[in-house]
Structure 1
Amino acid sequence: MIIIPVMRIHSSCGSQPLCRGSQRLAALLLAAVMTCFISVSCSSNSESTNSSVPAGDCPEQPIQVVVSVDQWGDIVEQLAGDCATVTTVIESSKVDPHDYEPTTGDAAKFTDAELVVVNGMDYDPWATKIVATLNPEPPVVDAGKVAGLSDGENPHVWYGPDYVFEFASAVTAELSKLSPKAAEYFTAQADSWNTSMQPYRDEIASIKASYSGSTYAATESVLDYMAVALGLKDVTPAGFAAAAANETDPSPGDVASFGKLIKAGTADVLIYNVQTVGALPEQIRSAADQVKVPTVEVTETVALGATSFEQWQVEQLEALSAALKASL
């Protein structure tokens, strides 16, 4: 209970300077007390921000989660909702994750992690190395391992539709294990996320129904898992693809073979990773433009301007569909 004192000013004061001062003082005191009454910060019963209490719709304290790359970070955020604070290290499509070198600030983000999410498959080895220095080591969800893939295989796991849904199930299970009281909440979040992914499923089904058997060549294997799901045929020269995967220069013969298949129209579309820049990819794209082979731009990390994983993927699938249609 707050008692508001009132200073009474007698009318006999008139306009005397001393009385005018008393009136001003009373007004200021009243304003200050009313401000205190309204403001939560002035109340003796006010609550300060405390990360150890439930947040939003979460029934208990949020889990601290660190994700290496934003391909998975956005999905984890949607699955965790209010029941986790998610920190994603690489969040820019201008960065090539293959060449990324973490800073001391990046390493510090892992200090309080209760769960770490990585792509694995030697795509983000810096993240697993940081985890190995922690004591105790937090549990890790490795997308490559969840998918049943091995080191040395194509690491672009997030482009495999089945792998994406398997990953989401694994994350939900781990979150529920770490925070049992929030298990029902995490299940509801997963259901909501699955619903939001319906346009993604629909676009995949549409492309497969209309363009299965179409061919493509790629400057890098980033879209290969998705291409398999769509029923597309990869005609990229094997030597060129292997060199790109190993981050080495392809042989002159492989480059020549790529140029020939583009000029011959063997590939219906060219898949171009905009995050892998250089004279050679640009040369191949230029060759495709000259013979009017449609080019589809893709990114490894979530594209600039995309608000979610599903929006990013659907927009790329729509671009691929348009390119395949133009190639007919």
Structure 2
Amino acid sequence: STDARNAMAKELANAYSRIMPRQKKYFSNRLAKWTKREDAVEKTMRQFKSEHGDVPYAATEQVAYYLLSDMGLTDKTPQGYLRSTASGGEPAPKDLQGFQELLEKRKVDLLVNNTQESSDASNMLTGTAHKSDVPVFDVSEQMPADSKDLTAWIASLVESLDTLLDQEEESERSDDGSATKPNADDADGTNDGDDSNDADSGGQPDPGK
């Protein structure tokens, strides 16, 4: 979380300054440089929040809960599932079924998946998400080896999530734009463009209504 990162950075700078008082200026400068980079990340997070609004999501585990909360996303993970995973147990069939229905009915815009804790349940949920066209955002519990530092890792997560949701929103706009508009002569959209059957219909209501 933003609060935890800032508090820890300040505490580290203060602790090292107490231990090595002659190097206090050095640690203060290091903290200032870190804060500048952290501010840039937080600015990106605020921009994400303003662009994407209150995005509902569910998660196989709460590994990114604080980060996503800072970015304005809303956790819709079923409570029964949350309790079972938090205690290290297996989710009950009823809770797992409810989670699947949440994805199938697209009541969330995103599934967050912990890549370091794969299980039959998480595999089932990610599979359901893919089939239901719900984007899956993979995140690990620990910082990947290819990340330079924590700030760079957080920044990459924010960027990846922003790109993922941008792509999903663009896809939805494309789908909406491809829908065939109703004929201007038929306000209810039931006109198929062929008036040759009008005489045969005998004025009967459209069976499709």
TM-score w.r.t. the length of structure 1 is 0.50
- What are the within-5 Å matches in structure 2 for residues 197-208 of structure 1? 197-208=38-49
Whole-Å separation in 2 of the counterparts to 1:170 and 1:314: 22
CA contact (8 A) 1:218 1:272 kept: yes
Q: Which has the higher helix share?
A: 2
Secondary structure class of the residue paired with 1:221: coil
What CA deviation, in whole Å up to 9, does each residue of 1:125-160 have, x standing for no partner? xxxxxxxxxxxxxxxxxxxxxxxxxxxxxxxxxxx1
Q: Which residue of 1 aligns with 2:147?
A: 306
Q: Which residue of 1 aligns with 2:164?
A: 323
CA contact (8 A) 1:269 1:323 kept: no
User: Is the aligned partner of 1:178 residue 2:4?
Assistant: no
CA contact (8 A) 1:294 1:326 kept: no
Measure how far apart 1:212 and its partner are. Answer: 2.3
Q: Which residue of 2 aligns with 1:46?
A: none
User: Is the aligned partner of 1:234 residue 2:71?
Assistant: no
Whole-Å separation in 2 of the counterparts to 1:165 and 1:204: 15
- What letter matches 2:114 in structure 1? N
Whole-Å separation in 2 of the counterparts to 1:280 and 1:252: 10
Q: Which runs of 5+ in 1 are unaligned?
A: 1-159
Whole-Å separation in 2 of the counterparts to 1:209 and 1:261: 25
What CA deviation, in whole Å up to 9, does each residue of 1:279-302 have, x standing for no partner? 211110011001111111111111
Whole-Å separation in 2 of the counterparts to 1:200 and 1:244: 30
- What letter matches 2:112 in structure 1? I
User: Is the aligned partner of 1:254 residue 2:99?
Assistant: no
Q: Which runs of 5+ in 2 are unaligned?
A: 170-209
Q: Higher Cα Rg: structure 1 or 2?
A: 1
TM-score w.r.t. the length of structure 2 is 0.77
Q: Which residue of 2 aligns with 1:10?
A: none
User: Is the aligned partner of 1:220 residue 2:61?
Assistant: yes
CA contact (8 A) 1:269 1:327 kept: no
Aligned length: 169
Q: Which residue of 2 aligns with 1:143?
A: none
Secondary structure class of the residue paired with 1:276: coil
User: Is the aligned partner of 1:280 residue 2:112?
Assistant: no
Measure how far apart 1:199 and its partner are. Answer: 3.3
Displaced runs of 4 or more, over 3 A: none
Instruction: Choose the corresponding residue for 1:271, options 106, 112, 119.
Output: 112
Matched-pair identity in %: 24
Whole-Å separation in 2 of the counterparts to 1:271 and 1:220: 8
Whole-Å separation in 1 of the counterparts to 2:161 and 2:83: 23
- What letter matches 2:95 in structure 1? D
